[in-house]
Structure formats: structure tokens, C-alpha cells
Chains A and B, each alone.
Chain A
Amino acid sequence: MIVQQVFDYLTDPVNYRGPAGIDDRLLQHVRYCVLSLLIAVVVAVPVGALIGHTRRGAALFLGTATALRALPSLGVLFVLASAAVLGRGLPPLIITLAVLAVPPVMLATLAGVAGVAVDTVDAARGVGMTEAQVLIGVELPNALPVLFGGVRTAMLQVVATAPIAALIGLETLGQYVVAGLAQRDVPQVAAGAVLIAVLAIVFDILLAALQRLLVPTGLRTPAGPRRTPVSLLRGPAGERTVA
């Protein structure tokens, strides 16, 4: 019965009209999420890559990432909006969502870059690549699978948290939840929930597809290129057991 009501709500053309329409709010929600994620990626990937490459300052940045993750987005949003230093509407939201997205992306980039096989990096340096070339040409592509995992996690959290924008008056899918609760209109609330969930799933599928497109074939498997443990190549006395 409730399913029927939600379905009716979503298919009623009245709900698609005007600035409070479903398609408008959906678009806004998407725009805010993508913008915040892009900002987070631009900030987090270079930082994570640099630390993963030089392996210096990792402790400090892990601490920062943990602290950032501990901040509740709702609180950050409200405090920023209340302080009104940068405006009351869009900037606080984008900043809040970007802050939310930075830790997963940064941690994933760090793990991915630092996790590239030492032999590969060595080989790159041996071929004559400069540090910058090693980072951009070898470590980053190798780190892409892990990096994408972080981006997908970040996107999930951003899409899931963006509805809080409704509390500061921005038109996103969260409005259905907030307005529906205020009007005791359960189908509206449920419709909002369904839309948010579907959006999250769609984004995840899109990002997975993007990952398939961008990650080179040789790096597809999660374990990366097969690495034989050195211990298997040498016998107990150190002699080579494989020709």
C-alpha cells in the first residue's frame, strides 16, 4: 500500500512542475554532489599522491583525515551557515560536502600510491624517469583501482549527506524528506528516500563504469600484477630454486 502511494507520488505529473519539481531537485542534488566531489578530488588526490610517493608526513595526514571524518556534516553545515562568513546557502553546503569527501579520497590515494609494487617504482627510476614522471606516469595509474574505490565511497557519502541541504533552504531531494515530515505526508518522505537511494546506486554504477574505462587492462585485477614472494624463489640456503 505504501509502495503504491510512493509510486503514485513519483508518477504524478504535478510533482514535476516548477522549481520544487522532482526533476529540478534531482538536478540540483546531482550538481551539488558532483561539484563537491570534484573539489574534494582536486584537493585530496595531489596531497594523497605526494604523501604516498614520498612516504613522509603520513602520520600527520592520517591524523588530519581521521579528525575530518569525525566531524558530523550536519554540524559543519549549520555552523558554517550560521557564521555566515561565506554566505548562507550554497558555499556552506559545498564546503561541508567537500570536507566530507576529502578523507576517503585522500586515504585511498595514499594507500594506492604507497601500495604500488616497489619493484615497479624501482624499474621506473632505473629507466631514467624523474620523480615527477614516476609519480604521474607509473604510481598514479597503478593506484587507480584503489583510488576509484575511494572516490566511489566518497560519492556515496556525499549523495547520502547532501539532503541535509534542505535544512538551510536549498532545493535538493532532501526537501521531500523535510517538507514531507512537516506536512506528515509519508508518501512524499518515502518518495524522497527512494529517489536518494536510486541516485546513489546510479552514481555508483556510473563510477564503476568509468573505472572500467580508465583503468588499464593489466591492472584490472584487485591484486594487481602477480607478485611471487621472494621467499619462494630462494631455498633455505639462499640458492635460487627457479632458473
Chain B
Amino acid sequence: MIRYLTNEIYRAQIIELFVAHLYLSLFPVVLAVLVALPLGWAANRHRATRAAMLGASSVLYTIPSLALFIVLPLLLGTSFTSDVNIIVALTLYTTALLVRSVVDALDALPDSTLAAATAMGYRPLRRAWEVELPMAVPVLMAGLRVAVVSNVSLVSIGALLGNGGLGELFTFGFRQSYLPPQITGLVLIALIALVADGLIVLAQRTATPWLRAGQDA
């Protein structure tokens, strides 16, 4: 194991795959948040879009990741191993998950608060940004945590197709019956997921100081 970790070539490989894994799992989350927030907000305000949006998300989420990784290149014309493939697939998944989260979060907002904001003079868009969004943060963050952890795991499945970030350490090690890369991959992926999860919890605590007000008294 030490021999594996101290080997220059292997270490370069690990670092390269590590960075790739971070990029492949976290970039889709950013994209998905940008897409899901407006979609969820629209779904929350207009009855018609709501049913369509939630229905589409459910169907999308039911499609297994591997199937999507395979079908997308055929539809988009990219190769199986391209990064675009994984990013689009994971963005679709995360969006499906987050739209539902956004709708739930906005649903739970007390009408009285929203009415008060409107009465104070907030126009819909500004109200959405300055009132609804901050209040929706806890539920959103919960959905975000699930999405990030599952994304980090899903990227490794891409190893079946030849592009799986740290997942490739698994296939590499298994084919040669060499345990160290597999354990390294396992530990690193779990580490990324747990650190990302922790960061989101931290961000949540920082972004919602009013929830802890009065507890320190």
C-alpha cells in the first residue's frame, strides 16, 4: 500500500483522477442549481407548470444513471467517454432532484410572511430573491446534500464506460487483482462526499443565522 502511494506515476494518476472526479461531480450541481431555482419557482407560482415539472422530474429520476450515461451519447452524438456526457446526465438528475426540493421549500413558506413582504412593497422578483430564497435555504440544502453525495457516487459508475473519475482506480485495480488503488479510490471518493456534505452543512449554518438566534443566550 505504501509502495503504491509513494510511486510517482500512480500518484500522478490519482491526482488527475481526483481532479476529474471533483469536476465531474460538482460542476453538474452548480448547473443544476442555476436551472432548478427558476424552474422550481415557476412551478410553485403557476399551477400548470407545477404538475408538468414534478411529473417530468419523477420520470427523469427513475431512469437509472447507467442507462442515461449510455443513451445520452447516442442522442447527443458524443462519445461514451466524453466528459460532456457525464455532466449533462448528472445535471439532469440533480435538476430533477432539486426542482422537487425547491417546490417543497417554497410550499412550506408561511403565506403571512410572503403577504407581509408584498405589502411592504416588494415586487415579485425581488421578493423571490430577498425573501423566499433565504427562507427556503434549509430545505434546499437538505436536497443539495443528497444530490451532491449521490453525484459523487454516480461518477464512479461511469468507470464502466471508461470515464469515471476515481472510479477508474477500481477497474484498474480489480483487473490486476491489485488492492491498493481500489482502497485509495474508495477512501478518496468517500472523503470527497463527506467533505462536500460537511461544507454544505456549514454553508447552511452561515446562511441562516436567524435560525440559531436566541440559542446562545
Q: Which residues of chain A have a CB within 8 Å of any CB of chain B?
A: 2, 66-67, 69-76, 78-79, 81-83, 156-157, 159-161, 163-164, 166-168, 174, 177-178, 181, 186, 189-190, 192-194, 196-197, 200-201, 204
Contacts and interface: CB of A to CB of B under 8 A. Distances in A.
B177 interface: yes
Interface residues of B, number: 41
B149 A177 contact: no
Interface stretch (B42-50, B129-137, B166-174): B166-174
B186 A177 contact: no
Given A67-B194, A156-B62, A190-B74, 17 more contacts: A66-B194, A70-B189, A70-B194, A72-B166, A72-B170, A73-B157, A75-B186, A75-B189, A157-B150, A160-B66, A161-B64, A167-B160, A177-B160, A189-B70, A197-B62, A201-B62, A201-B63
Contact of B160 (A2, A70, A164, A186): A164
Given A69-B149, A177-B160, A193 B70 contact: yes
Interface of B: 59, 61-68, 70-71, 74, 80, 149-150, 152-153, 156-157, 159-162, 164, 166-167, 170-171, 173-174, 177, 179, 182-183, 185-186, 189-190, 193-194, 197
B193 A70 contact: yes
B190 A71 contact: yes
B94 to A, nearest CB: 15
The 4 tightest CB contacts between A and B, nearest first, are A160-B64, A70-B193, A75-B186, A193-B70
A206 B68 CA distance: 22
30 contacts: A67-B190, A69-B193, A71-B189, A72-B185, A72-B186, A74-B157, A74-B171, A75-B167, A78-B170, A83-B179, A156-B62, A160-B65, A160-B66, A161-B66, A167-B171, A168-B174, A177-B161, A181-B160, A181-B161, A181-B162, A189-B70, A190-B71, A190-B74, A193-B66, A193-B70, A194-B71, A196-B66, A197-B67, A201-B63, A204-B62
